[in-house]
Amino acid sequence: MGAHEIEPWYFSPYPVEFSDADMVFVCEFCLSYFAEEKSFSRHRAKCQLFHPPGNEIYRDQDISFFEIDGRRQRTWCRNLCLLSKLFLDHKTLYYDVDPFLFYCMTYRDAYGHHLVGYFSKEKESAEGYNVACILTLPQYQRKGYGQLIIAFSYELSRREGKLGSPEKPLSDLGLLGYRAYWQRTIVDLLMGDNGEPRKEANVEELGALSAMTTNDVLHTLQNLNMLRYSVCLFSFFTHIYYACSAQHYCRC
């Protein structure tokens, strides 16, 4: 893929004729795949696509984000799903891409926009998830791009006036990436703008400021051992619990 030779991690359901191929050649712009270098070279000579086939919605120097509608760009999005399945164990979606939007991060140079990673998002999520699937390609990992992709997903949720959370279960690498982002975001909020730590903050306030759900905020604070419970409130509920237990019923 481009200038990189990548070893896949998991199985992806490419057509059966690719099962015996020693190498699969992937066009890094249109994501078409070929089993022979000759046919791949012919395609590259004629391919006119130099960026993902969607709307560029963000640009900062050489980094861009593109929004691609799965219904309008079925072939490209299906190719993206097949490619990402090589590196995601939990991914099960390959062909039904119509209900999803794909947000692709690219690195731009003189040759075009090179795909770095992406996340997909349901157009209408009953559970309110802001990410269905997320991936940074192996050749671009350990460079901070994954954290930028996660931050972008939460910025979209903030602009929509919603609280976001990724669809579960997360992959192993996805969970590590999200935990790192959640912890850094919560600690930054608790430190305040001037570097002075907040004297007090509640979970709902932190969720509203970070566009994170209450469950994710609580999960992060528990991992950081930063939760403090009210002794009086704890004693009150403990008293009620034992009183109800003694009477073998509870109307609380």
Strands (E), 8-147: 25-26, 33-34, 55-60, 63-69, 100-109, 112-122, 133-136
Nearest to 80 by CA among 141, 29, 131, 152: 29
Nearest to 90 by CA among 131, 140, 128, 52: 131
Is this structure's pTM higher than 0.95? no
Q: Which residues are catalytic?
A: 167
Residue 239 confidence (pLDDT) above 80? no
Higher pLDDT, 234 or 15: 15
- Residue 162 to residue 211: CA distance in whole angstroms: 7
List C-alpha distances in Å: 143 to 45, 136, 180, 208, 240: 31, 10, 14, 28, 52
Of the listed ranges 46-55, 162-171, 198-207, the one predicted with least confidence: 198-207
Cβ pair 13, 85 in contact under 8 A: yes
CATH fold of the domain at 171-252: Arc Repressor Mutant, subunit A (1.10.10)
pLDDT of residue 172: 80
Burial class (CB in 10 A: 0-12, 13-18, 19+), 141: middle
Higher pLDDT, 249 or 125: 125
Calculate Rg over the CA atoms of the chain: 23
Where residue 61 falls (left for φ over 0; alpha for ψ -120 to 50; beta otherwise) is left
Top-level class of domain 1-169: alpha beta
Residue 83 confidence (pLDDT) above 60? yes
The domain limits of the chain are 1-169, 171-252
Q: Which two structure tokens, joined as six digits, stand for 207?
A: 């969720």
Of the listed ranges 45-54, 172-181, 190-199, the one predicted with least confidence: 190-199
Q: Which two structure tokens, joined as six digits, stand for 158?
A: 């903030």
Tens of pLDDT along 93-105?
A: 667 899 999 999 9
Higher pLDDT, 179 or 230: 179
Eight-class DSSP state of 229? -
Q: Which two structure tokens, joined as six digits, stand for 95?
A: 């062909």
